[in-house]
Structure 1
Amino acid sequence: MTNLATRLARPEVLALPPVDIVPVEEVFGADTIKLDANENPFAPLLEGSLSAGINRYPEPQPARLKRMMAALYGVSPEQLIITRGGDDGIDLLVRTFCRPGIDAISVCSPTFSVYEHAARLQGARVLDVPLSADFDLDVDAFLAAVREEASLKLAFLCSPNNPTGNPLPREDVLRIADALTDTIVLLDEAYLEFSELESLAAEAVKRDNLVILRTLSKAYGLAGARIGALVGNRELIALVTRVLPAYPLPTLSIAAAETSLAPARRPLHEERIRKLKADRDRMAGLLEASPIVRKVRNGGGNFLFLEVDEPDALARKLQALGIRVRFRANAAPGGLRLTIGTDRENKAALSAFGVAIPDEGRRRAELVRDTKETRIAVAVDLDSEGQRRIETGIPFYDHMLDQVAAHGGFSLTLMCEGDLEIDAHHSIEDCAIAFGGALSKALGDRRGIGRFGFSLPMDEAEAHVLIDLSGRPHSVFEGDFKASHIGAYPTEMTEHVFTSIATSLGAAIHVRVAGDNDHHKTEACFKAFGRALRQGVVRDASGVLPSTKGVL
């Protein structure tokens, strides 16, 4: 018996041969002599990373990225097809299954407009089963409506829904899939990371008629790279692959996606998602006080859905201020979707909506440092004693940096992939440089800070750490160690750590340590440095620059 995808596919698609372009890496890897694709053998006249491999066609479905995305979504590479963003995945499905003038899709308005747009471009009919007044899906009413359509090939569901943010419960999606055995159900999970929902990817790969749409545009900040995915059973994915162009994915987009999904980056993405969700909830509460906002809907996306008075006047005001939002009058009178932005952007939006907020000046920074020896991602928040997550590959060093953040009173995420097979030197040094750089970035212009620093005893050991967050790097270290290593951490690197931090932070750091136990001495240095930072970065309400020069 043929599978559902083959039964529903357009005859023209079934007549297409499977893709016959062999990925370069399958046989000889990077050493392959490529004389098959009429490429120019010379690199383009571009500088730096822009020139890498641009003269060659990329893999149609890049194997490494496919493995990374499959791991991200909990499926096997054969159950996933990489698309040019989510829009491309929608278009591929419609072109694969819908015959012009014969077949239909269903949508539940208000929802993502591309579903209907792609169908109309293909000449397919659109059956709209509107959501309830509260933008929820009435499953019984939906099934009653679509069962009347004999040629319904695709049913589009969006959860969290765009633009309203409403979640669609797992049991409702599966009930629809169970009921529509001759229709492919597409569940759009573009905003899943910002919700409390569980992905249905694991269900989709086991079923004939359920496909999941994912994207790197939202949670991973790659909207400009245009990388998305369809997840489903192997037969359906293989069939849809026939509709792809020969080389659909740009080389630079592939590189951007692979870099962004590297393990060292993932904790920072998770932290960004947490912040966006917290900012969304905060913005929702503040907008309730707006004199022009009638209703605020806070769902599961990285956005809010508002209903406002006098939307035309607001549109003119926002345009004059250079603030773009998405008005959705078709969803609700005065409806608009407001995306959550940076702190500065959110403050500007709140002001435009007539909401006055104090200037909190949150001191948060992220920094990425990539070399041939290490790949490092750091995030610090000097005004939060929240999460601390450090993974350098050197456990004792992780412990020391954790002590700095804990005693400094700030949150720290630091991830490093380094050449530890050589030794620990590069990882320790580069982590210190990146950490100091992130601290400097978070401090900004350094107005109102305490500037200066601390001493600390630890059992028989005694450490004195003096800092001056002056913007002028200088390092002094007095002390020695008898042991060559503490675990995998070379004790000789302790002085080098403080020198590296001083240079990238722009600070004078003086360390003096004495004692008998090298573990205690080293830990005392890092703890004292954390305490010195706590005193140095604390700020008062005056906002005065702590310098008679007028500049740091």
Structure 2
Amino acid sequence: MTSLAERLARPEILALPHVDIAANPASARDIVKLDSNENGYPPLVTGPLAGDINRYPDPQALRLTARMAALYGVAPDEIVVTRGADDAIDALVRAFCRAGEDAVACCPPTFGQYAQAARIQGARVVEVPLTADFALDEDALIDAVRRDGAVKLVFLCSPNNPTGDVIAPGTVRRVTAALPDTLIVLDEAYIEFADVESMATEATRADNLVVLRTLSKAYGLAGARIGALVGPSSLTAIVGRVLPPYALPSPSLAAALDALAPTLMPIHAERIATIIADRARLAGLLRDADGVTSVREGGANFLLLDVADPAALARRAEAAGVLLRFRPQVAPGAVRATIGTPAENAALLALFGQTAGRTNRTGQAIRHTKETRIAVAIDLDRAEPRSIATGIPFYDHMLDQVAAHAGFSLILQCEGDLDIDAHHSIEDCAIAFGSALSDALGARRGIGRFGFSLPMDETQAEVLIDLSGRPFARFDGDFTASHIGAYPTEMTRHVFRSFADSLGAALHVRVTGDNDHHKTEACYKAFGRALRQAVRTEGDSLSVPSTKGVL
């Protein structure tokens, strides 16, 4: 049975012969590769761009396709990885729209690339404007497409750019059901920031629904240009025909695979949660600002403001070095502002005479070696969330004790060579933990700096810490048992040495007692309590707790 995609596709696309692209096996380093007319000499570049860029990348991007398919819950043949979602939009128009004959429909104000790609291809653009409150007028859209008769593609953006409004999945289903002979393209570039589920998996089961995704927004890869189109395999096969060979450059493929490593996913989730929380906080502050008529929060990573004097705002923004996107086609005073880092958000608020207040002290560390892949995120001013997965249950429990007793949030994920033993994972997690904590402390202004002893049943543990910036470690204590579960007790001494070195702290640990479980746990708990005292803010938040004036 012929699919809808095959019936709608341009005949010229269906008639294209198979593209003869050389195979690029994963073992390319081990073979003599003389099939692709590449330059076999190493590239004359250094740094992260070096690698094997004298060789063509994987033409099918098989590893990244598999990873993104898993991320979106679809099969590899139901996704096409593209150079950003823009490339997917362009590929759809080129695959289905004949110049001077076919049309696309979109609902302005919305992302301008839908109409731009159509006009470049010579297709007409049918515009069905959003309502006065920027809602989709589904009845008007359905009627316009039916009356036109030549619309091949309908582009819907949810959350919509630039308004941030989310289209309910039920509305999308009604449109697809009412227009069974038209491809409905749902652009979900901002879906990770919205309180609604993606329709990607649903698109693979529907003849006429296509979903676009991107790694630019939620995963911080705008410069890598990685997007994707999700739909039934009959459609993805057709779209794949119009893409150029070797479309994705090797550095972008490598960056995307690194960014989507399983160890990093909890960090991405926490960043997304932070952006959502900051979006709500900034919206509340800006609604009270002079000259702001309204604020639309929406479900994306930006706010749409309506200001009384956009020209004056533009002058202030230029003087402050802040780039905003003015959108007069939405409303005379419409301005789109992205939710950024704490410093960037403070700069935005300052344009409107608002202060951000004290921001949380956060730190991150990514440690990738041949033995481990570790990601850590710490927030010293929040007690939650705490999520630790090292692959060593007792060590997870110990690190959780540190964070719980220190009173800060800790996310730590590790993939290590546990098939060899636990040494590398334990050591590298301690190094990454200390590095993230040092990052969160920054210049170490306004902190307690010192701290603690702790009794636990028959055991007494004493941890003395000085966040001086000068690493030193001393550990007094012995263990009888070789292991507690999969955790080698001999590593306890090594862990605290790694903490001291990566944190930049003088760390003295002393433990006595009879039960090795109690002794080990008491060390970690006391360390957490010492950190609670040492990292807490007190007195002048700008002062350095040292007579030298610097740590």
Within 5 Å, give how 1:58-457 maps onto structure 2: 58-358=57-357, 360-457=358-455
Runs of at least 5 residues in structure 2 that lack an aligned partner in the other structure: none
Say which is worse superposed, 46-55 or 187-196, in terms of deviation. 46-55
For the residues of structure 2 that align with 1:173 and 1:370, how far apart are their CA atoms? 42
Deviation at 1:126, TM superposition (A): 0.3
Deviation track 1:239-285 (CA, whole Å, cap 9, x = no partner) reads 11110101100000000000000001100000000000000000000
Amino acid aligned to 1:187? L
Q: Does the CA-based 8 Å contact 1:100-1:123 persist in structure 2? A: yes
Is 1:11 matched up with 2:37?
no
Q: Does the CA-based 8 Å contact 2:22-2:35 persist in structure 1? A: no
Is 1:547 matched up with 2:546?
yes
For the residues of structure 2 that align with 1:56 and 1:393, how far apart are their CA atoms? 37
Deviation track 1:54-94 (CA, whole Å, cap 9, x = no partner) reads 01101122111111000000000000000000100000000
Deviation at 1:145, TM superposition (A): 1.7
For the residues of structure 2 that align with 1:295 and 1:90, how far apart are their CA atoms? 32
For the residues of structure 1 that align with 2:68 and 2:278, how far apart are their CA atoms? 27
Deviation at 1:21, TM superposition (A): 2.2
Residue in 1 aligned with 2:512?
A: 514
Amino acid aligned to 1:141? A
DSSP 3-state at the match of 1:312: helix
Deviation track 1:209-234 (CA, whole Å, cap 9, x = no partner) reads 11000000000000000000000000
For the residues of structure 2 that align with 1:458 and 1:363, how far apart are their CA atoms? 31
For the residues of structure 1 that align with 2:544 and 2:174, how far apart are their CA atoms? 62
For the residues of structure 2 that align with 1:18 and 1:278, how far apart are their CA atoms? 49
Amino acid aligned to 2:485? G
Say which is worse superposed, 368-377 or 224-233, in terms of deviation. 368-377
Within 5 Å, give how 1:27-66 maps onto structure 2: 31-66=30-65
Counterpart pick for 1:534 among 529, 532, 535: 532
Counterpart pick for 1:477 among 467, 475, 478: 475
Q: Does the CA-based 8 Å contact 1:473-1:505 persist in structure 2? A: yes
For the residues of structure 2 that align with 1:15 and 1:535, how far apart are their CA atoms? 71
Deviation track 1:314-337 (CA, whole Å, cap 9, x = no partner) reads 112211211111111111221111
Q: Does the CA-based 8 Å contact 1:97-1:153 persist in structure 2? A: yes
For the residues of structure 2 that align with 1:30 and 1:457, how far apart are their CA atoms? 57
For the residues of structure 2 that align with 1:273 and 1:23, how far apart are their CA atoms? 38
Q: Assess, with a 3 A threshold, how the Cα gap between structure 1 residues 136 and 48 changes in structure 2: closer, same or farther.
A: same
Q: Does the CA-based 8 Å contact 1:17-1:242 persist in structure 2? A: no
Return structure 1 stretches of 4+ with deviation > 6 angstroms.
none
TM-score (norm 1): 0.98
DSSP 3-state at the match of 2:210: strand
Number of aligned residue pairs: give it.
Answer: 550
Q: Does the CA-based 8 Å contact 2:22-2:36 persist in structure 1? A: no
For the residues of structure 2 that align with 1:406 and 1:20, how far apart are their CA atoms? 58
For the residues of structure 2 that align with 1:211 and 1:20, how far apart are their CA atoms? 27
TM-score (norm 2): 0.98
For the residues of structure 2 that align with 1:71 and 1:296, how far apart are their CA atoms? 36
DSSP 3-state at the match of 2:262: coil
Q: Does the CA-based 8 Å contact 1:184-1:210 persist in structure 2? A: yes
Deviation at 1:32, TM superposition (A): 4.1
Runs of at least 5 residues in structure 1 that lack an aligned partner in the other structure: none
Deviation at 1:30, TM superposition (A): 5.1
DSSP 3-state at the match of 1:290: coil
Q: Does the CA-based 8 Å contact 2:159-2:167 persist in structure 1? A: yes
For the residues of structure 1 that align with 2:411 and 2:249, how far apart are their CA atoms? 31
Is 1:24 matched up with 2:24?
yes
Deviation at 1:34, TM superposition (A): 2.1
Deviation track 1:296-348 (CA, whole Å, cap 9, x = no partner) reads 00110000111111111211221121111111111122111110000001001
Deviation at 1:293, TM superposition (A): 0.7
Deviation track 1:192-223 (CA, whole Å, cap 9, x = no partner) reads 00001111111111112110000000000000
